[in-house]
Structure 1
Amino acid sequence: MSNRQGHPKDRGLNRDQAMQLSDDDFKFICQFVYENTGIVLNDSKREMLYRRLTRIVRDRKLNSFSEYSQLLRDQGDKEKDFFINAITTNLTSFFRENHHFEYLTKEEIPALLKSKTAGSDGKKRLRIWSSASSTGEEPYSIAITLLEAMKKDLPHWDIKILATDIDSEVLAKGKAGVYDVNRIEDIPQKIKQGYFFQGRGKSSQSVKVHDKLQSIITFKQLNLLHEWPIKGPFDAIFCRNVIIYFDKKTQHELFARYFELLAPGGLLFLGHSENLGNYQQYFSNVGRTIFRKPY
């Protein structure tokens, strides 16, 4: 980009004047986000976008939002990954919306233990997809839930969890499995001792997840709007607190694709404020934001 003109003060502008998010820049950035992620940003997200753009502009050592908008116009392909990583929301925690994990423990896993049949290798197959896995707390919570509920039967099962997200940086954190110790403060002591190692010395405020969790989880970058190099079928798909950012058309398309990848009787988990809309007719509601594909 060749239109750099020095610091705002050199042009007679104060920082507040330079860091105004114009309607044109806001509309362009919202459209850029939608075209590349399917996430719909409207005026209610303007303040959130402003805060995140401010960090991006400072990181890129630019002087205004307009300069960054121009960078996206000129070098969108190069800048896209960094921009998406910086702008997407990554709010998560271990066992968030715990009723979903309770349903797995009390209802679904006991049913699967009885109904699943072994394959040619003598093992029963279980596949779960965490499709907006963020920094990994969700897939690790799923893994802990499975290992706890299936302890006696684990040798007879082939269990794999796929964890995907559009943000490569949060995926790297999830794959590493290292978290601040306060992230697990609300987890029962038995779970802490069985599935987390606390660091020592300079690392005493960090914990690392146990290898037995990481061994059944695969982390991969994936944009839900693009092709899914995934075979399935999945016994359960978690798509929580992400579809609220998509428009109705995109939501419907995603539900149709999830439906195809679910095994007969498979479960789709949504976030606490989400619903299937018109696609509800193809599922049965078996719990709070828990939906089952017909057998």
Structure 2
Amino acid sequence: MPITLPAPGHEFLYTRRDFLNVRERLYRHAGISLSENKQQLVYSRLSRRLRSLRLGSFAEYFAYLEQHDEEWQQFVNALTTNLTAFFRERHHFEHLARFAGERLRDHSPLRVWSSASSTGEEPYSIAMTLVDALGSFNPPVQILASDIDTGVLGCARQGIYPLERLEALSAAQKRRFFLRGTGANAGKARVVAELRQLVEFRQINLLDANWGIAGGLDAIFCRNVMIYFDKPTQTRLLERMIGLLRPGGLLFAGHSENFVHASQLVRSIGRTTYQAARSG
């Protein structure tokens, strides 16, 4: 029977079967496990797609989805949550700054992957950290930033943010790394070109069989994304990520994540920071 909606006036019938159909498709396509408390979020997000496509029901949308491959990306984009900020969990960037100098004594370039980059705050924070730590706008580093959501990647490539999003930055960082908008762009700032050029943005579904990433990474940021996967999927992804790290490489996780169930793969070396269980 239909779930209870928070207010009258919703134009689409929405049943528990509809929610379960969405949950099954999202898990199959992106590995994301929706919890029961996401039922209203699913209605709110996907009803916009029904209106946009001029469809009359969720059943029609499911049929449309199976007949139009390009809609799968819109489906995933609608249901993924992109909560991020500059220098979120600052201790990770402090650790990366210390780590960078040590690693570059052994090899160059330093290679870092931001695997759930959202609108770009995380990879640009990585870039700022390495520019500051290594004292150059042309440091020997390669930063790959990826996300499943093509919409947020477009925002990330532009590197334009409301000024309030820069509140975590120091005045010196704002001056060095951002250009303040004027006229029509008043109230916004753009990441300087030198910093944008350090980051390669790419669309990657973590469930894809081939990520197209060569091994030999020094650090992987995979923060606040594992919480959307069940434990077997987490274990498979951790195994693949650890396989891409150089000996001694770092895996940074989110504050609400722990990998006790995968102790054969990773070991904690600090606050939400991991290395391969048998890493040198």
- What TM-score do you get using the length of structure 1 for normalisation? 0.86
In structure 2, C-alpha distance between the alignment counterparts of 1:76 and 1:269, rounded to whole Å: 36
CA distance in 2, matches of 1:85, 1:57: 14
- Give per-residue Cα distances to partners, 1:83-125, cap 9 Å, x unaligned: 11111111111111112112223x3234324x424xxxxxx21
Aligned-partner residue type, residue 197 of structure 1 = L
Residue pair 1:25, 1:69 contacting (<8 A) in 2 also: no
Tell me, yes or no, if structure 1 residue 77 matches structure 2 residue 69.
Answer: yes
Which of 208, 230, 237 is equivalent to 2:213?
230
Match of 1:54? 47
**Which of the residues 99, 124, 134 maps onto 1:108?**
99
CA contact (8 A) 2:268 2:275 kept: yes
AA partner of residue 255 (structure 1): L
Worse-matched range after superposition: 254-263 or 40-49:
40-49
Matched, 1:131 2:115: yes
**Shift of the alpha carbon at 1:66?**
3.3
> What is the aligned partner in structure 1 of residue 33 from structure 2?
40
Q: How far has the Cα of 1:76 moved from its partner?
A: 4.6
Contact 1:140 1:213 in 2 (8 A): yes
SS in 2 for 1:138: helix
Shift of 1:69: 2.7
Partner SS state of residue 109, structure 2: strand
Deviations 1:106-162 (A, max 9, x none): x3234324x424xxxxxx21000001111111000000011111106x76x521100
Structure 2 match to 1:265: 248
Q: Which residue of 2 aligns with 1:96?
A: 88
Percent identity between the aligned chains? 44
Aligned to 2:131: 147
- Kept in 1, the 8 Å contact 2:238–2:265? The answer is no
CA RMSD of aligned residues (A): 1.8
Q: Matches of 1:131 and 1:125 in 2, distance apart?
A: 19
Q: Does 1:254 align with 2:237?
A: yes
**1 or 2, which has the higher helix percentage?**
1
Asked if the contact 2:148–2:206 (Cα under 8 Å) also holds between the matched residues in 1, the reply is yes
Partner of 2:268: 285
Report what 1:10 is aligned to.
none
Measured in 2, the distance between the counterparts of 1:219 and 1:126 equals 17
Paired residue secondary structure (1:57): helix
Separation in 1, partners of 2:49, 2:79: 9
| Aligned residue identity for 2:249 | G
d(CA) in 2 for partners of 1:127, 1:189: 28
Partner of 1:216: 198
What is the TM-score of this pair, normalised by structure 2?
A: 0.90
- The code of the aligned residue for 1:244 comes to I
1:23 aligned residue (16, 23, 28): 16
Larger radius of gyration: 1
Q: Distance in 1 between matches of 2:19 and 2:172?
A: 48
Distance 2:27 2:266 in 1: 28
